[in-house]
Structure 1
């Protein structure tokens, strides 16, 4: 999980030691598990890179902001040039390093990411912003801007509060008690205010089934704002100033 101020509990509280079990219990009524959602988002990241990145996925240097224990990473790392992860939870970073020693993981305090300016072709944050204190959302986006190269991409994956079953799942999840869900338009407004150019808004996970036909249906319905989650992908322009800070 990621934070921008000390007010976020993930910087000091223990990381859930049974993260996947907690998520699976919260979404158990759907008949699906956390692995399905992880695979779906990992596939979407690779597809988005191939679609919008000048280097495509195979040449992209990538950062997962608020990476947690790195659940998505084994499904992304084989398809990209490099993958890094940063999180405010030292416990999560230790778990991620032990599970995926080939990936560069770094702990940080929550204000400034431990990377130089313009370090990455692609940055993503996956179901993290709803844990960031609302007043820190602009600073969170500004840090993503800082470490993204001009011409690079920033993708935000979030729970869709318009979907009633998503709200039920968040309510049932023990570590989501402080979550503030963002609509896709709120993310778009934050990214635009920073200077990003919006490339994509898609809704994800419509069909409660783990089958190829279900994924085909999901792809056909990405325009419909009823998916369980969504992605907003934006580009840092090539010709630009420093953006808002």
Structure 2
């Protein structure tokens, strides 16, 4: 279920571009601060809505059908979705910029691997993954930096591998001062679903499915899931 493409103001946005280093530090520090209460307040995968769980299941089946391979859960937080992927038959590991989140994930799931690092600069070889999950984790990346981020996803994903991107969609820059009961300093950069699909295509992905669900309170925002398959590389 998709909505009509909407025009965006991304190209004409007069606001200054965000400094990547400052933005990354704000995300790291904020999630270090909220980590324990995030686990307490955020619904685990088993409690997600049926559409979200169905998209995770579809992603897992696609990865299995194309030979498996390791799956990276980028922006894994406390590792609950990483572990959920394991229950769907995948060999998954997590990556997160927040050291506190990684520590929580390692304690809760000692049998899984969790790496402390940025999804924009992965310490992984080229073509090494069978799948990538970016679940509610790319919205802290400014729109002008998404092409580089998606190029990094394409670098580490093997040709024919699958990506599932799930998260917020819209056309806004949000800077909350509190979240999960704590002060935060990160910014959320919401991009329309159609634009996300365009950027994935430019990075070499064929978008094979796109599902949007309306936000329950905000008419100009939605929740989106995009499934993509990485094409064969050309010389």
Same fold (TM over 0.5): yes
Match of 2:77 in 1: 68
Match of 1:11 in 2: 28
In structure 2, distance between residues paired with 1:96 and 1:66 = 12
In structure 2, distance between residues paired with 1:34 and 1:78 = 14
In structure 2, distance between residues paired with 1:176 and 1:43 = 33
Deviation string for 1:179-235 (max 9, x for gaps)? 11122111111111112111111124789xxxxxxxxxxxxxxxxx99951111111
Match of 1:104 in 2: 113
Match of 1:229 in 2: 223
Q: 5+ residue gaps in structure 1?
A: 24-32, 208-224
The correspondence for 1:188, drawn from 189, 192, 197, is: 197
In structure 2, relative to structure 1, the CA distance for the partners of 1:180 and 1:105 (3 Å cut) is same
Contact 2:206 2:231 in 1 (8 A): yes
In structure 2, relative to structure 1, the CA distance for the partners of 1:144 and 1:12 (3 Å cut) is same
Q: Which structure is higher in helix share?
A: 1
Q: Give the alignment's Cα RMSD to 1 decimal.
A: 3.4
Match of 1:86 in 2: 95
Tell me how far 1:111 sits from its aligned partner: 4.0
Deviation string for 1:46-89 (max 9, x for gaps)? 22332x44x33893421111111112233221222410111111
Q: Which structure is higher in strand share?
A: 2
Aligned: 1:122 with 2:131? yes
In structure 2, distance between residues paired with 1:177 and 1:111 = 16
Deviation string for 1:92-113 (max 9, x for gaps)? 1111011111111111145411
Aligned: 1:49 with 2:60? yes
The correspondence for 2:209, drawn from 200, 214, 222, is: 200
In structure 2, relative to structure 1, the CA distance for the partners of 1:194 and 1:127 (3 Å cut) is same
Aligned residues: 206
Tell me how far 1:91 sits from its aligned partner: 1.2
When the two structures are superposed, what TM-score results if normalisation uses the length of structure 2? 0.73
In structure 2, distance between residues paired with 1:58 and 1:125 = 20
Match of 1:241 in 2: 234
In structure 2, relative to structure 1, the CA distance for the partners of 1:111 and 1:72 (3 Å cut) is closer
Contact 1:65 1:85 in 2 (8 A): yes
Match of 1:113 in 2: 122
Q: How does 1:141-220 map to 2 (within 5 A)?
A: 141-161=150-170, 173=179, 175=184, 178-204=187-213
In structure 2, relative to structure 1, the CA distance for the partners of 1:109 and 1:192 (3 Å cut) is closer
When the two structures are superposed, what TM-score results if normalisation uses the length of structure 1? 0.70
Tell me how far 1:20 sits from its aligned partner: 4.0
In structure 2, distance between residues paired with 1:203 and 1:83 = 25
In structure 2, distance between residues paired with 1:227 and 1:102 = 37
